[in-house]
């Protein structure tokens, strides 16, 4: 569709009210994965020229539904309609042909290509790439003007900040003629300022008549951005509501099936002795790139110290070095006043655990679990040599299963079946297996990386309450999260990392989203404070 044709269509049905024939509709969609009924009679109508939110717990079926719409999966039964007409979508190329684009949570870009090359990749016209690039450059300039998507077409994508990379993904979809744009958890790796920019862009797209489907677990974003919301639970649609006629508490209750506490309840911290001390730490990643530069801080008993920052600024390497799984280039680490081993090998990690360290890794599937194992085996990883699980030279299967079953009950893992394969648990329940394994031993120091990544709102509430209880019991907790709301709610002190360095520290009482967001983008506290004024 040309720009003039699109503007004509927008004029016909581009208001936020979105009356008339739905732009996108699913009718009675059914999808099974083996015995799992992922989508059950799912009917959703998305009005043209609106932003429509789809929310639900892990396993609710929302991503499955949108994957069917975009052609990644095929429905077992049911129908997809675009503009009121039934369509057959057998793959993403069919979705694109029907004007449906998708911006994925993990961007589908070639880092070594320019913005322009990424945009035309896969839709080149003939063998003469020069003419394709020339035409594409003109179209990009038009799209950038129309929607405020400013980005240098000649910039190398790998050199761009993540917020601009996301703009490239949106430009790709628009260049391919998308009138319906699906965004899957689009703010997970953005700073608050980048989120504001994204919202501005999405509102501009809506004003021009584009239709947007937003998949997110962040209720604040739903309330701030959408016109209408579909709530899913256990593969079914619970309700469709106008955003203006609901609130976060009502949406949370519909998602989970019960009332949910949307805030972290905790009293003031009472810090004790320094339990974890880090001085001038430098760490290289496994490719030899220096990721942590001259970092120093301490975590005391009875407090939660949060580390805020956009993913990729050294937080992951910092956590691994503290846990003993990654060697340090320089500096020192001490636990309870005793020097920690150099790190980078299994014995160092075991020594840290024996010294009273617990570690909930950022990536539960890559580092926290072995998904092919039973939950009973994943539930004792790293602790399988403990005397309680062994009789002589052999592990006691009964002791392992019994111990993990008790942990599953304590940490509300569903279903509480130790013999079930780890891969068969939802993401949220896999996370609770890891959290239960590490927190259940009441370590003196707990390292927690992205504790609620991919976790539904009910499990978030549970994990947060457990962390606060550990703090109140006198434990020292270091929390790394890209979720700024989580950091601001849980942490008593907040450190901000950018480019592998700590650029500042803020007490919880003095923290605000704007200041932290500017620091996450590399500004020093004094600069951020001046900009805020």
pLDDT reported for residue 11: 32
Q: Verify that 108 and 11 share a domain, yes or no.
A: yes
Taking Cα atoms as reference points, which of 166, 168, 142 lies closest to residue 153?
168
Residue 145 lies in a domain: no
Taking Cα atoms as reference points, which of 95, 105, 121, 243 lies closest to residue 180?
95
Preceding omega of 190 cis (within 30 degrees of 0): no
pTM of the entire structure?
A: 0.69
Q: Verify that 283 and 210 share a domain, yes or no.
A: no
For the stretch 488-500, pLDDT in tens is 999 999 999 999 9
The residues near 259 (Cβ < 8 Å, ≥ 6 apart) are 249, 252, 253
For the stretch 36-65, pLDDT in tens is 899 999 999 999 999 999 998 766 888 889
Give CA separation, 450 vs 49, 83, 350, 460, in Å.
35, 40, 22, 11
Q: Verify that 365 and 492 share a domain, yes or no.
A: yes
For the stretch 105-143, pLDDT in tens is 778 899 999 999 999 888 766 555 666 788 888 888 888
Q: Averaged over 9-36, what is the pLDDT?
A: 71
Q: Verify that 286 and 407 share a domain, yes or no.
A: yes
Q: Verify that 243 and 330 share a domain, yes or no.
A: no
Taking Cα atoms as reference points, which of 356, 343, 306, 345 lies closest to residue 505?
306
pLDDT reported for residue 73: 94
Q: Over 80: is that where the pLDDT of 153 sits?
A: yes
Residue position matching structure tokens 């962040």: 218
Q: Averaged over 387-405, what is the pLDDT?
A: 88
pLDDT reported for residue 197: 87
pLDDT reported for residue 262: 65
Q: Verify that 185 and 221 share a domain, yes or no.
A: yes
Asked if 524 contacts 505 with a C-beta cutoff of 8 angstroms, the reply is no
Q: Averaged over 260-288, what is the pLDDT?
A: 91
Residue position matching structure tokens 């004509």: 8
DSSP code of 341?
Answer: P
Angle (CA) 26-32-38 rounded to 5° is 65
Residue 143 lies in a domain: no
Residue 182 lies in a domain: yes
Question: Which one has a higher pLDDT value, 514 or 243?
Answer: 243
Q: Verify that 350 and 414 share a domain, yes or no.
A: yes
Q: What is the spatial distance between Cα 316 and Cα 321, in angstroms, rounded to a whole number?
A: 9
DSSP code of 380?
Answer: T
Task: For residue 293, give its domain range.
Answer: 274-532
Helix, strand, coil % in the chain, rounded to nearest 5: 40, 25, 35
Phi/psi for 37 (5° steps) reads -90, 90
* pLDDT confidence band for 511 (50 / 70 / 90): very high
pLDDT reported for residue 457: 78
Three-state SS for 154?
A: coil
Taking Cα atoms as reference points, which of 443, 467, 448, 475 lies closest to residue 356?
443
Three-state SS for 319?
A: helix
pLDDT reported for residue 533: 45
pLDDT reported for residue 14: 36
Question: Which one has a higher pLDDT value, 530 or 423?
Answer: 423
Q: Verify that 98 and 8 share a domain, yes or no.
A: yes
pLDDT reported for residue 126: 56
Chain-centre distance for alpha carbon 217: 9
Our CA dihedral for 387, 392, 393, 396, rounded to 10 degrees, sits at: -60
Q: Averaged over 445-460, what is the pLDDT?
A: 84
Q: Verify that 235 and 204 share a domain, yes or no.
A: yes
pLDDT reported for residue 375: 95
Q: What is the spatial distance between Cα 297 and Cα 127, in angstroms, rounded to a whole number?
A: 57
Asked if 100 contacts 180 with a C-beta cutoff of 8 angstroms, the reply is yes
* pLDDT confidence band for 13 (50 / 70 / 90): very low
Q: Verify that 227 and 309 share a domain, yes or no.
A: no
Q: Over 90: is that where the pLDDT of 7 sits?
A: no
Phi/psi for 321 (5° steps) reads -65, -40
Output the CA torsion sign for 89, 92, 94, 100. Answer: positive
Angle (CA) 190-289-105 rounded to 5° is 25
- Look over the chain and give the mean of its residue pLDDT values, rounded to a whole number: 88
Asked if 42 contacts 235 with a C-beta cutoff of 8 angstroms, the reply is yes
Q: What stretch of H or E contains 450? A: none
Q: Which two structure tokens, joined as six digits, stand for 99?
A: 């004007």
Give CA separation, 53 vs 83, 169, 231, 356, 376, in Å.
19, 19, 8, 44, 37
Q: Which two structure tokens, joined as six digits, stand for 292?
A: 């942590």
Residue 118 lies in a domain: no
Asked if 180 contacts 189 with a C-beta cutoff of 8 angstroms, the reply is no
CATH code (residue 475) = 3.40.50.300
- Which of 256, 284, 302 finishes a domain? 256
Residue 148 lies in a domain: no
* pLDDT confidence band for 188 (50 / 70 / 90): low
Residue 94 lies in a domain: yes
Residue position matching structure tokens 């020292």: 476
Residue 125 lies in a domain: no
DSSP code of 492?
Answer: S
Residue position matching structure tokens 């790139």: 289
Residue 146 lies in a domain: no
Q: Which two structure tokens, joined as six digits, stand for 368?
A: 């926290």
Q: Verify that 288 and 418 share a domain, yes or no.
A: yes
Domain count, the chain: 2
pLDDT reported for residue 528: 54
- Which of 256, 286, 304 finishes a domain? 256
pLDDT reported for residue 322: 97
Chain-centre distance for alpha carbon 360: 16
pLDDT reported for residue 6: 34
Question: Which one has a higher pLDDT value, 403 or 189?
Answer: 403
Q: Verify that 481 and 342 share a domain, yes or no.
A: yes
pLDDT reported for residue 3: 36
Within 13 Å of residue 202, how many CA atoms lie on the same side as its CB?
29
Q: What is the spatial distance between Cα 247 and Cα 259, in angstroms, rounded to a whole number?
A: 13
Q: What is the spatial distance between Cα 321 and Cα 367, in angstroms, rounded to a whole number?
A: 14
- Which of 206, 228, 256 finishes a domain? 256
The residues near 44 (Cβ < 8 Å, ≥ 6 apart) are 24, 25, 26, 52, 54, 65, 230, 237, 240
For the stretch 294-306, pLDDT in tens is 999 999 999 999 9
pLDDT reported for residue 4: 35
């Amino acid at each position: 569709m040309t720009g003039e044709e699109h503007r004509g269509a927008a004029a016909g049905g581009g208001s936020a009210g979105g009356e008339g024939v739905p732009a996108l509709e699913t009718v009675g969609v059914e999808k099974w994965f083996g015995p799992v009924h992922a989508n059950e009679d799912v009917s959703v109508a998305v009005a043209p020229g609106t932003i429509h939110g789809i929310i639900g717990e892990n396993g609710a079926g929302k991503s499955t539904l949108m994957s069917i719409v975009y052609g990644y999966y095929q429905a077992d039964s049911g129908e997809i309609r675009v503009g009121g007409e039934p369509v057959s979508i057998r793959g993403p190329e069919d979705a694109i042909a029907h004007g449906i684009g998708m911006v994925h949570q993990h961007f589908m870009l070639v880092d070594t290509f320019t913005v322009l090359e990424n945009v035309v990749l896969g839709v080149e016209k003939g063998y003469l790439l020069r003419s394709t690039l020339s035409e594409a450059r003109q179209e990009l300039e038009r799209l950038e003007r129309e929607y405020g998507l400013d980005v240098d077409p000649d910039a190398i994508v790998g050199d761009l900040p993540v917020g601009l990379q996301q703009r490239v993904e949106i430009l790709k979809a628009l260049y391919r003629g998308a009138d319906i744009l699906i965004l899957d958890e689009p703010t997970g790796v953005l700073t608050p300022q980048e989120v504001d920019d994204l919202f501005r862009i999405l509102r501009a797209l809506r004003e021009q008549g584009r239709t947007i489907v937003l998949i997110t677990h962040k209720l604040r974003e739903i309330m701030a951005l959408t016109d209408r919301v579909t709530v899913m639970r256990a593969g079914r649609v619970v309700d469709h509501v106008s955003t203006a006629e609901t609130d976060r508490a009502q949406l949370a209750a519909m998602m989970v099936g019960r009332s949910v506490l949307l805030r972290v309840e905790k009293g003031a911290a009472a810090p004790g002795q320094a339990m974890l001390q880090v001085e001038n730490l430098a760490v290289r990643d496994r490719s030899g790139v220096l990721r942590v530069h001259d970092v120093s801080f301490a975590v005391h008993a009875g407090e939660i110290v949060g580390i805020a920052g956009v993913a990729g600024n050294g937080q992951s390497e910092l956590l691994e070095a503290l846990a003993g799984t990654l060697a340090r280039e320089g500096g020192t680490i001490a636990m309870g006043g005793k020097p920690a081993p150099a790190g980078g090998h299994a014995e160092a990690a075991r020594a840290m655990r024996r010294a009273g360290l617990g570690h909930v890794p950022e990536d539960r599937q890559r580092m926290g679990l072995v998904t092919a194992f039973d939950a009973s085996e994943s539930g004792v990883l790293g602790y399988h040599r403990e005397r309680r699980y062994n009789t002589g030279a052999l592990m006691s299967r009964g002791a392992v299963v019994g111990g993990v079953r008790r942990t599953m009950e304590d940490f509300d893992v569903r279903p509480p079946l130790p013999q079930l394969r780890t891969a068969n648990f939802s993401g949220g329940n896999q996370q609770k297996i890891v959290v239960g394994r590490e927190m259940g031993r009441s370590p003196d120091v707990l390292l927690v990386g992205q504790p609620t990544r991919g976790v539904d709102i009910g499990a978030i509430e549970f994990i947060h309450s457990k962390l606060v209880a550990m703090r109140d019991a006198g434990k020292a907790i270091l929390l790394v999260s890209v979720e700024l709301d989580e950091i601001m709610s849980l942490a008593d002190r907040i450190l901000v990392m950018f480019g592998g360095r700590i650029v500042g520290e803020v007490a919880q009482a003095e923290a605000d989203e704007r200041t932290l967001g500017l620091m996450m983008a590399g500004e020093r506290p004094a600069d951020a404070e001046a900009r805020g004024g």
